[in-house]
């Protein structure tokens, strides 16, 4: 969904400017002037605050008419994180008593 909470928008904008990796998968930034959406760590020139809106999923950004950025490739990034999640989920189901560390 389109993020409308002003505090969240400010927080996400600061994360976008800082290329904060802790927000990967949390939001997607749609740039109104170019109709392109990016991930948080995109190295493209950052938009002005008034020219960006935030979405909680790739599908929502696409449904709003935004195209994926050719620099950060948000569709490819989303698949990479999904594959990691599926692998971890499979491992947890296969061996539920195994202890994992965050960096595993």
Give the distance between the most distant pair of CA atoms in the chain.
Answer: 50
Angle made by CA atoms 91, 79, 27, in degrees to the nearest 5: 105
Catalytic residue among 38, 42, 69, 72: 38
**Start-to-end Cα distance in the chain:** 31
Please indicate whether residue 42 is annotated as part of the active site. no
**Distance, CA of 54 to CA of 2 (rounded, Å):** 6
Residues paired with residue 29 on neighbouring β-strands, in sequence order: 38, 54
Catalytic annotation, residues: 38
């Amino acid at each position: 969904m389109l993020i409308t909470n002003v505090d969240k928008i400010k927080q996400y904008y600061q994360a976008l400017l800082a290329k904060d990796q802790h927000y990967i998968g949390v939001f997607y930034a749609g740039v109104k002037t170019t109709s392109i959406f990016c991930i948080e760590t995109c190295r493209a020139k950052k938009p002005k605050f008034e020219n960006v809106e935030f979405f909680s999923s790739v599908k929502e950004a696409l449904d709003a008419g935004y195209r994926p950025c050719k620099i950060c490739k948000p569709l490819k990034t989303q698949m990479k994180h999904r594959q990691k999640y599926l692998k971890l989920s499979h491992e947890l189901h296969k061996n539920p008593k195994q202890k994992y560390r965050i960096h595993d």
